[in-house]
Amino acid sequence: DADVTQTPRNRITKTGKRIMLECSQTKGHDRMYWYRQDPGLGLRLIYYSFDVKDINKGEISDGYSVSRQAQAKFSLSLESAIPNQTALYFCATSEVGGSTTNTGELFFGEGSRLTVL
Protein backbone atom coordinates (compact mmCIF):
# COMPACT_ATOMS: atom_id res chain seq x y z
CA ASP A 1 0.00 0.00 0.00
CA ALA A 2 1.10 3.54 -0.70
CA ASP A 3 2.53 5.57 2.18
CA VAL A 4 0.42 8.58 1.20
CA THR A 5 -3.04 7.80 -0.12
CA GLN A 6 -5.40 10.23 -1.78
CA THR A 7 -9.08 9.72 -2.54
CA PRO A 8 -10.65 10.09 -4.98
CA ARG A 9 -8.09 9.67 -7.76
CA ASN A 10 -10.37 11.33 -10.26
CA ARG A 11 -13.54 13.33 -9.84
CA ILE A 12 -15.85 15.26 -12.12
CA THR A 13 -18.27 17.65 -10.51
CA LYS A 14 -20.45 20.63 -11.31
CA THR A 15 -20.08 24.26 -10.46
CA GLY A 16 -21.37 25.05 -6.97
CA LYS A 17 -20.97 21.56 -5.55
CA ARG A 18 -19.05 20.88 -2.36
CA ILE A 19 -16.07 18.59 -2.84
CA MET A 20 -13.75 16.97 -0.33
CA LEU A 21 -10.39 15.45 -1.20
CA GLU A 22 -8.97 13.17 1.43
CA CYS A 23 -5.43 12.27 2.30
CA SER A 24 -4.09 9.71 4.72
CA GLN A 25 -0.51 8.71 5.46
CA THR A 26 1.30 5.90 7.20
CA LYS A 27 4.72 7.57 7.30
CA GLY A 28 4.21 8.98 10.78
CA HIS A 29 5.07 12.49 9.63
CA ASP A 30 3.74 15.51 11.44
CA ARG A 31 3.82 17.83 8.44
CA MET A 32 1.24 17.60 5.70
CA TYR A 33 0.61 19.76 2.65
CA TRP A 34 -1.90 20.31 -0.12
CA TYR A 35 -0.56 21.46 -3.48
CA ARG A 36 -2.31 22.26 -6.72
CA GLN A 37 -0.72 21.60 -10.12
CA ASP A 38 -1.66 23.55 -13.22
CA PRO A 39 0.04 23.42 -16.63
CA GLY A 40 2.80 26.00 -16.89
CA LEU A 41 2.52 26.96 -13.23
CA GLY A 42 4.09 24.01 -11.47
CA LEU A 43 2.88 23.09 -7.99
CA ARG A 44 1.53 25.78 -5.74
CA LEU A 45 0.87 25.45 -2.04
CA ILE A 46 -2.74 25.69 -0.88
CA TYR A 47 -2.53 24.82 2.82
CA TYR A 48 -0.05 23.18 5.14
CA SER A 49 -0.18 21.74 8.63
CA PHE A 50 2.70 21.19 11.01
CA ASP A 51 0.60 19.24 13.47
CA VAL A 52 -3.05 18.66 14.30
CA LYS A 53 -3.43 22.07 15.92
CA ASP A 54 -1.29 24.04 13.49
CA ILE A 55 -2.84 24.81 10.09
CA ASN A 56 -1.61 27.57 7.81
CA LYS A 57 -2.63 29.12 4.53
CA GLY A 58 -0.37 28.75 1.55
CA GLU A 59 -0.09 31.05 -1.43
CA ILE A 60 -3.44 30.17 -3.05
CA SER A 61 -5.86 29.32 -0.23
CA ASP A 62 -8.87 31.34 -1.40
CA GLY A 63 -11.83 29.08 -2.12
CA TYR A 64 -10.37 26.19 -0.15
CA SER A 65 -10.51 24.95 3.43
CA VAL A 66 -8.79 22.10 5.23
CA SER A 67 -9.24 19.85 8.20
CA ARG A 68 -6.54 17.93 10.06
CA GLN A 69 -8.55 15.19 11.71
CA ALA A 70 -5.54 13.32 13.07
CA GLN A 71 -1.82 13.17 12.54
CA ALA A 72 -2.42 10.81 9.64
CA LYS A 73 -5.35 12.58 7.95
CA PHE A 74 -5.57 15.90 6.16
CA SER A 75 -8.60 16.80 4.02
CA LEU A 76 -9.05 19.56 1.48
CA SER A 77 -12.52 20.99 0.81
CA LEU A 78 -13.91 23.13 -1.94
CA GLU A 79 -17.06 24.61 -0.46
CA SER A 80 -18.50 25.73 -3.79
CA ALA A 81 -16.46 24.45 -6.70
CA ILE A 82 -15.82 26.63 -9.74
CA PRO A 83 -14.30 25.72 -13.13
CA ASN A 84 -11.15 27.67 -12.25
CA GLN A 85 -10.46 25.00 -9.61
CA THR A 86 -10.07 22.29 -12.22
CA ALA A 87 -6.58 20.95 -11.53
CA LEU A 88 -4.47 18.09 -10.24
CA TYR A 89 -4.24 18.15 -6.46
CA PHE A 90 -1.45 16.60 -4.44
CA CYS A 91 -1.17 15.79 -0.79
CA ALA A 92 2.33 15.48 0.61
CA THR A 93 4.05 14.81 3.91
CA SER A 94 7.45 15.54 5.37
CA GLU A 95 9.51 15.27 8.48
CA VAL A 96 10.55 18.48 10.19
CA GLY A 97 13.77 18.86 8.24
CA GLY A 98 16.51 21.39 8.75
CA SER A 99 19.34 19.08 9.65
CA THR A 100 22.16 17.29 7.95
CA THR A 101 20.32 14.00 8.21
CA ASN A 102 16.87 15.15 7.21
CA THR A 103 16.30 17.41 4.26
CA GLY A 104 12.56 17.77 4.69
CA GLU A 105 11.95 15.95 1.44
CA LEU A 106 8.27 15.80 0.49
CA PHE A 107 6.56 12.46 -0.02
CA PHE A 108 3.61 12.72 -2.37
CA GLY A 109 0.35 10.92 -2.86
CA GLU A 110 -0.68 9.89 -6.35
CA GLY A 111 -2.75 12.97 -6.98
CA SER A 112 -6.45 13.69 -7.33
CA ARG A 113 -7.58 15.04 -10.68
CA LEU A 114 -10.59 17.30 -10.22
CA THR A 115 -12.68 18.59 -13.09
CA VAL A 116 -15.32 21.23 -12.40
CA LEU A 117 -17.87 21.66 -15.19
Residues that bind another protein (CB under 8 A): 31, 33, 35, 40-45, 48, 50, 56, 58, 88, 90, 92, 94, 96-98, 100, 103-106, 108, 110-111, 113
Say how far apart CA 32 and CA 91 lie, in whole Å.
7
> In the complex with another protein, which residue's Cβ is closer, 33 or 116?
33
Q: What are phi and psi of 27, to 5 degrees?
A: -85, -10
Nearer to another protein, 35 or 64 (CB): 35
Whether the CB-CB separation of 21 and 85 falls below 8 Å is answered with no
Name the 3-class secondary structure at 32.
Answer: strand
Closest CB 16 distance from another protein, rounded Å: 27
Nearer to another protein, 38 or 79 (CB): 38
What is the distance between the alpha carbons of residues 26 and 3, in angstroms, rounded to a whole number? 5
Q: How far is the CB of 6 from another protein (least distance, A)?
A: 10
Contact 74, 49 (CB under 8 A): yes
CB of 3 to another protein, least distance (A): 12
Q: Rounded to the nearest whole angstrom, what is the least distance from the CB of residue 116 to another protein in the complex?
A: 18
Q: Which residues pair with 54 in a beta bridge?
A: 51
